[in-house]
Structure 1
Amino acid sequence: MNEPPLRILHVFRAPLGGLFRHVLDVARGQAERGHEVGIFCDATTGGARADAVFGELSEILSLGITRVPMSRYPSATDFAALREANALRGRLQPDVVHCHGSKGGVYGRLPALFDPGRRYVTAYTPHGGSFNYKPGSAQHRLYMGVERLLERATDMFLFESRFIAGRFEAYIGHLPRTAHRVVLNGISPAEFEPVDHSQAAFDLLYLGELRAAKGVDTLILALAALRREGVTPRILIVGSGPDEAQLKAMTVAQGVAEQCVFAPPGPIRQALEQTRVMVIPSRAESLPYVILEAAAAAQPLIATHVGGIGEIFGPRHRHRMIPPDDVPALAGAIRAMLARPVQDRQDEAADLAETVRQTFRLDTMIDGVVSAYRDALAARRTGRSAVTSA
């Protein structure tokens, strides 16, 4: 039976990083399947890259792209942004409001808390967000209180990794009492084309945000430790963030500045082609796209065992992961990887790529999300509970 197209509004804060990549993939895929799709997000972040992407997408997102100023942390701007989000929902009359991240979760779900008879459904994908704050901290207690409150306004939880579903259960005290399922992030068939390293000028690559949670300081300390042994790999550091100046100064203080080249954010495959091994030394992650993309492209990888990265590596490769904040372990992993024959590390990378191909598929993700929407809508219209799956 042909089901009618849906009107879908995606609500999130910053057009940056893996969350943005996820929303773009889902929104584009939904529009290509005939659904009417719109986006509501921040106007002050994302820069030229976000402007270019939105310019391209504007032709296929029939519900438009609305951007207003939003702050990362709670502030007075939240009232204006929440008012704008509510007004937009009233004008568009969506069937689904899909909230992403903690701030998007507030903007999209708070009005629903006071509208139990609403015709639309709310879906929520945390993407780490509130669940990455240190347990016991004042911020963590505040955000978990908000999550408990807004659980009642959520028709469908869509966890992008089993790790975040587990975090919800651990920190809230139970799995969602409303419908929930895990729909893993997915990537496209084109991203499984292996990269060509024949012109690589760097031994190592870090690609991601330059902030404390990503552990780049640990990587710089590992480079300094290797330098004392006479091992001096060159590294390309691609990204931006609040700690950029501090990290650049740290490379000078640790005596490794001449080995490090910092570059602004750009296409990942261009960075992979310039480098032989990717290193992700994160302290916290959800299910990072940067690992998925690199693994799919058969890039040799060194990564910490945090968040959902173990789900990407799978049982065949999980033993290769290292603990976070462990400078000797990271230095040892880099030393061992660079000492291996090129063909050995490429064979290992190709095997990991096949693991990712079997589990993290773009079409499966898009179809799974839409199926969850339809179950939630049917449940709201009939008054029964939507089906929950692992």
Structure 2
Amino acid sequence: MLSPAHPLRIVHCFRSPVGGIFRHVRDLTVAQVAAGHKVGIVCDSTTGGEFEERLFDAMRGMLALGIHRTPMQRHIGPGDIAAAWRTFRIIKELQPNVIHGHGAKGGVYARLFGSLLRVFRSRVARLYSPHGGSLHYDEGTATGKVFFLLERKMGSFTDHLLFVSDYEQRAYRKKVGEPPIPNALVYNGLHEQEFVPVPANSEAADFLYIGMMRDLKGPDLFINALASVERRTGRAVTAEMVGAGDDLPHYRKQAAALGLGERVRFRPPMPAREAFALGRTIVVPSRAEAMPYIVLEALAAGKPMVATAVGGIPEIFGGQSPALVTPDVEDLGGKMAAALLEPEAYASLMPSRQELRARFGAAVMAARIEEAYRKMLRVAA
């Protein structure tokens, strides 16, 4: 049996090294390495860009088990067989005693491969954090039914479920069923330096969108809402949109078609706190979320925000917060107009940074997750 002081060999497996999942894994690895554990990452090699490569470069020297990237498909298909075999060989060579899967694809790989390692008499704890993932699907659709059936079947290969929001935990119970295995809610956490305010720079735009360029995150809603704000206020507005994704050309065309092309600037991914200085009010227009880091980071940095009441976002603001809107253009545009016309009054609606610090700490997150790891290893002994 591993003692509480015995270092663990931890492998984090996930598909796409972008967005909140990648941020979550980075935070965990930093805390786990600081605690003396040997940590490695296995993820897709076909997603991410220069920004993500710089983040990987900053981590390489600290990860005793290394960073291993191999092609992984987003959707289920014939290529999964070859991708799965490559990934399994990598993980088997790393000899982990903890495999933590993140997101739908990473969760399947981690749990299946952890189970295969047990066949080879390795003692491995298999943990899964959905991070939204397949839970975003509608359970009434054929696709949703397939994914939720798969999730139920995968329960037999899972030792512990870790949810990042109460919303995610409730969605799992509703769509997949009551988990027959241990599970816990562990919020994403922020580091102390992230609570230092980031003021807008002298040339800051009225509004800032920062995130992946895909419809699930609502860039199209944001652009249409900018036009709505102009109609409501009679003022020309400016915006910065920071992020990357396959749908980026579509959003550029959308902004141009609405006559906003010169007032909406598109920028590649950059560190969140660097981006925060580019806008006065941050807008999170997502159609679906789990527990988005960008909301936590922006509020900790003292930025006023308009956000949709989806996923775990109301757990951050409080369910009755007047800063929350539905993912609807007119609702979004109305709230953005209010933030533009009365910035001081709107800023007063944000939750306090003291409250956020007490509820969303990186150290607390890492400690609770390590507790789950060790508990499952004791069970597997």
Common topology (TM > 0.5): yes
Q: Does 1:150 align with 2:154?
A: yes
Equivalent residue, structure 2, for 1:235: 239
- In the TM superposition, what are the counterparts of 1:361-380 in structure 2 within 5 Å? 361-380=361-380
Identify which range, 118-127 or 213-222, moves more after superposition.
Answer: 213-222
8 A Cα contact 2:339 2:346, kept in partner: yes
**Separation in 2, partners of 1:141, 1:85:** 27
- In the TM superposition, what are the counterparts of 1:169-248 in structure 2 within 5 Å? 169-174=173-178, 176-229=179-232, 230-248=234-252
- In the TM superposition, what are the counterparts of 1:101-120 in structure 2 within 5 Å? 101-113=103-115, 115=118, 118-120=122-124
Q: Does 1:55 align with 2:57?
A: yes
8 A Cα contact 2:322 2:349, kept in partner: no
8 A Cα contact 1:120 1:377, kept in partner: yes
**Separation in 2, partners of 1:131, 1:361:** 25
8 A Cα contact 1:313 1:352, kept in partner: no
Letter in structure 2 aligned against 1:43: S
**Separation in 1, partners of 2:34, 2:61:** 11
Equivalent residue, structure 2, for 1:9: 11
**Separation in 2, partners of 1:268, 1:56:** 16
Equivalent residue, structure 1, for 2:83: 81
Q: Does 1:336 align with 2:338?
A: yes
Q: Deviation of residue 110 (structure 1)?
A: 1.8
**Separation in 2, partners of 1:126, 1:169:** 13
Letter in structure 1 aligned against 2:68: T
Q: Deviation of residue 341 (structure 1)?
A: 4.5
8 A Cα contact 1:7 1:36, kept in partner: yes
Identity of paired residues, percent? 39
CA-to-aligned-CA distance 1:284-306 (integer Å, 9 cap, x gap): 01100111100100100000100
- In the TM superposition, what are the counterparts of 1:178-327 in structure 2 within 5 Å? 178-229=181-232, 230-314=234-318, 318-324=321-327, 326-327=328-329
Unaligned 5+ segments in structure 1 are 382-390
Q: Secondary structure at the match of 2:200?
A: coil
Q: Deviation of residue 31 (structure 1)?
A: 0.7
Q: Secondary structure at the match of 2:321?
A: helix
**Separation in 2, partners of 1:347, 1:75:** 49
Equivalent residue, structure 1, for 2:355: 355
CA-to-aligned-CA distance 1:316-338 (integer Å, 9 cap, x gap): x63321111x2221111011111
Q: Secondary structure at the match of 2:322?
A: helix
Equivalent residue, structure 2, for 1:384: none
State TM-score, norm by structure 1.
0.92
User: Please, what is the CA RMSD of the aligned residues?
Assistant: 1.7
CA-to-aligned-CA distance 1:69-98 (integer Å, 9 cap, x gap): 111111233212211222223222211000
8 A Cα contact 1:314 1:355, kept in partner: no
Q: Deviation of residue 378 (structure 1)?
A: 0.9
**Separation in 1, partners of 2:349, 2:196:** 16
Q: Deviation of residue 167 (structure 1)?
A: 0.8
Q: Deviation of residue 218 (structure 1)?
A: 1.7
8 A Cα contact 1:179 1:376, kept in partner: no
Q: Secondary structure at the match of 1:319?
A: coil
Equivalent residue, structure 2, for 1:31: 33
